[in-house]
Amino acid sequence: MINRKKILIADHDALNLDFFDLMLSKLGFVVEKAQDGSEVLSKVTNGHDEGYPDLIVINTVLPKVSGWEILKAVKADPKTSVIPVLLLSEIDDVKEIVEAFEIGADDYILKPFNFSVVLARIRAALRNSVLFSQLRTREKRLTLAEKSNVTLKHAFLDLEKAIDDLMLELTQLQAKENSKAFTGQLIENAMRVQNIFSKAEKIIEHTETEWENLKEQEIGLTILEKPIRGTVNC
């Protein structure tokens, strides 16, 4: 089943809403419309029941709740902060544009706009969203694998101690009893298991070293997000 991206469009201009609905629906997107800010917040808040939008396009000027307030609310909530938000505005002001990006806007589109350009920006924002989603999933998997590696290492250490204790007991038993052939075989088997654990330990140590090397070289998701959110301390 094809995953159709859901786009929430909010504009006080009904003609703009209908135009976006018509054009984006033809291109295969699922379009939700809203004419005031409170309706946008309601749709986003109910996202956990109906599914969050994949992208939000909002006019900075909306009845009841402004696009600026919506942007701040969306980006402040951990459940919705990853949703790309594109602002539509009639105001071509550098200070306002910079502020939009610092708050967390993913793009700032001036009216009147060319739909082809807007579409390209929507697709770019969706691609970036998918990329960051993949990075978040990757980091979670790496964290889980790292924890599993640590747990496995501790398990090996416990088993290694148990085998060392067993070896000590077998050696003491061999010295006391006449069944030296039997205990000798047990000791040989225990030593074989020891060698297996020794090799496994070396593999774990090598993995840990490689892991640390990779972590030093990689760019973490937090670092990548900072320039986009405008929170880099220069």
The predicted pLDDT at position 229 comes to: 35
**Residues 173-186 pLDDT 10s:** 666 655 555 566 66
Q: CA-CA distances (angstroms) from residue 95 to 60, 68, 218, 233?
A: 14, 14, 34, 18
Q: In degrees, to the nearest 5, what angle opens at C-alpha 92 toward C-alphas 6 and 60?
A: 40
Task: Report the C-alpha gap between 32 and 131 in whole angstroms.
Answer: 24
- Predicted TM-score (pTM) of the model is 0.65
Beta sheet of 55-59, edge-to-edge order: 30-34, 6-10, 55-59, 85-89, 107-110
CA angle 50, 229, 68 (to 5 degrees): 60
In the predicted model, is pLDDT for residue 227 greater than 50? no
Tens of pLDDT, residues 28-76: 999 999 989 999 998 888 766 678 899 999 999 999 999 999 999 999 9
Residue 163 and residue 193 in contact, taking contact as beta carbons nearer than 8 Å: yes
What are the angstrom distances between the C-alpha of 144 and each of 3, 23, 33?
Answer: 27, 42, 39
